[in-house]
Chains A and B, each alone.
Chain A
Amino acid sequence: MCGIVGLFAKNAELQSQLGLHLERMLVTMSDRGPDSAGLAIYGTTAAGKTKLTVQSSLPDSEFPKLKNVLEAQFPQATDVQTIETHAVVSVDTEVSDRVVEIIQNEFPRLRIMGRGEAMAIFKEVGSPSEVARRFSIGKMSGTHGIGHTRMATESAVTTRGAHPFSTGPDQCLVHNGSLSNHNNLRRGLRRQGVSFETENDTEVAAAYLSHQINSGNSLGKVLEGALEQLDGFYTFVVGTRTGFGVLRDPIACKPAVLAETDDYVAFGSEYRALVNLPAIDRARVWEPEPATVYFWEH
């Protein structure tokens, strides 16, 4: 099964409560998949700064070491905020590539979950309520965010196998379904220089979309291309720095509900996920059409 949610807030008041709403939405979807859960939050941006979300299974020893190394090499250019097993490392964009190299070379046990101006990703094994509580998701603000609760069907229940998947700056993806041609697609993408960290099918979809975006295509165009290239069942919710998109495969057996008001656009695997949103009774609520790209941008 799996449950997915998304919220695109159109005003400042709702943006200040983004985490709270997303947490409630995701917890409501817990019985669609209790194995692992994750959220991507598009929060505040600062000019010239990049956020790296880093995960460690030994946060108490690894993150202070990382902080010392980065502060020694880039005084005033880095800031490390630890939240449970994750750290959001804010760095000057001009040194971000070097910081990534340091993390990869000197801290092989750290995992970079995502990178971008606005996006931070928090995901772990465990139920949505547990994961949301550990990362204090309810206190987070942001312009938009997406979340996922997983019932694993085709690869291991691990932190890396949890969604959202990000393979490009400020780009992430959550998925309900299963892809049948992911091995072939992964081979093709590897030949084009894309690297993978898991055997998970969704990572391949995320990498495919990011690879297409990096080749200069718009997200809308890329999602249309996905309909041709991805074989299998999928309802995707995709986040970019400024936007939020939804795509269902042509068979559309994985459920999806969208709701829109003047204040927000919300996505849920089921209507239940949306019932606590403000003025949901007056929202336009509909089921997204199969093989149709929906996209909203700030």
Chain B
Amino acid sequence: MGCFDLQQNTLRDLNAALHRQGDLLRVGGKADTQWEVLNPRGSHAVAVGVDGPLQITVCGSVGYYCGGMNQSGEIRIEGSAGPGVGENMMSGSIRVTGDASQYAGATGRGGLLVIEGNASSRCGISSKGIDIVVRGNVGHMSAFMAQSGNLVVLGDAGDALGDSIYEARLFVRGQVKSLGADCIKKEMRDEHLRLLGDLLKAAEVTDVRPEEFTRYGSARELYHFDVDRADAY
């Protein structure tokens, strides 16, 4: 197992070492696939651009953009994450045992982001396929302009949930403070219960049932310009 202490070595060295393992795996070489990162102390850009099936445990809280652009990596953050955790993630998974700051999983294209605490504003903004499961609450403007993928919130959602949303699905178990423009409550059909059940299982959430959630999504009224609705744009 690779162990990397950010008090002893630079962040650049850490990320280069992680990228090297991906390169080695692609050419069929032998690589260290298990990594432990010590003393992150709020550092930015920890384990950014991982491109390979590595298991990385970050022992402590991180700053901006941890796990950004992750492809295939399984990243566990034992602590809280600053803004933009898992930004533009492609695949793989990221688990945050604490809270996540604003725009967690922004623009994410795939993979699973699990936040065991709360996520603050703009969680899943402009998501393009990522699945996000938040055990606690999410802040205002979450899933703003979310195009596809799923956002599951076991707690409450803040103001303007799903504003200008496209085809992402939102499942909220608690209260929604307000819905954003063109976001509406939707019927929970069998296919949604099955999908949500699979998402909860993938996130290792076993203490709640899909039936406890409400589904929200796009009313599809903002897709095309309509002069009679100019006020809503």
Taking Cβ atoms with an 8 Å cutoff, the residues of A that contact B are 250-253, 255, 270-275, 285-287, 289-290
The 6 closest A-B pairs by CB, nearest first: A272-B42, A271-B42, A275-B41, A287-B120, A271-B61, A275-B42
B218 interfacial contact with A, CB 8 Å: no
Q: Among residues 138 to 169 in chain B, which have CB atoms less than 8 Å away from a CB atom of chain A? A: 139-140
The answer on a CB contact under 8 Å between B41 and A252 is no
B82 interfacial contact with A, CB 8 Å: yes
Taking Cβ atoms with an 8 Å cutoff, the residues of B that contact A are 41-43, 61, 63-64, 80, 82-83, 99, 101-102, 120-121, 139-140
The answer on a CB contact under 8 Å between B63 and A271 is yes
Q: How far is the CA of A273 from the CA of B102 in the complex (A)?
A: 18
In the complex, given contacts A252-B102, A252-B139, A275-B41, what are 12 additional A-B residue pairs having Cβ atoms less than 8 angstroms apart? Answer: A253-B102, A253-B121, A255-B102, A270-B63, A271-B42, A271-B61, A271-B63, A271-B80, A275-B42, A285-B61, A285-B80, A287-B120
Q: How far is the CA of A275 from the CA of B80 in the complex (A)?
A: 13
Considering only CB atoms, which chain A residue lies closest to B61 in the complex?
A: A271
Interface centre among B43, B80, B83, B120 (most CB of A within 10 A): B120
Residues of B within 8 A of A290 (CB): 121, 139-140
The majority secondary structure among interface residues of chain B is loop
The majority secondary structure among interface residues of chain A is loop
With A270-B63, A271-B61 already in contact, the answer to whether A255 and B83 are too (CB < 8 A) is: yes
The answer on a CB contact under 8 Å between A286 and B99 is yes
The answer on a CB contact under 8 Å between A271 and B82 is yes
Residues of B within 8 A of A274 (CB): 42
Residues of B within 8 A of A287 (CB): 99, 101, 120
Q: How far is the CA of A274 from the CA of B82 in the complex (A)?
A: 13
Interface centre among A250, A285, A287, A289 (most CB of B within 10 A): A287
Considering only CB atoms, which chain A residue lies closest to B122 in the complex?
A: A253
Considering only CB atoms, which chain B residue lies closest to A28 in the complex?
A: B42
Least CB distance, A272 to chain B, in whole angstroms: 4
Q: How far is the CA of A253 from the CA of B122 in the complex (A)?
A: 9
Considering only CB atoms, which chain A residue lies closest to B117 in the complex?
A: A286
Residue among B82, B102, B120 making CB contact with A270, cutoff 8 Å: B82
The answer on a CB contact under 8 Å between A272 and B41 is yes
The answer on a CB contact under 8 Å between B41 and A255 is no
Residues of B within 8 A of A271 (CB): 42, 61, 63, 80, 82
Q: How far is the CA of A251 from the CA of B139 in the complex (A)?
A: 10
Residues of A within 8 A of B99 (CB): 286-287
A-B pairs with beta carbons under 8 Å apart, 19 shown: A251-B121, A252-B140, A253-B121, A255-B102, A270-B42, A270-B82, A271-B61, A271-B82, A272-B42, A272-B43, A275-B41, A275-B42, A285-B61, A285-B80, A286-B99, A287-B101, A287-B120, A290-B139, A290-B140
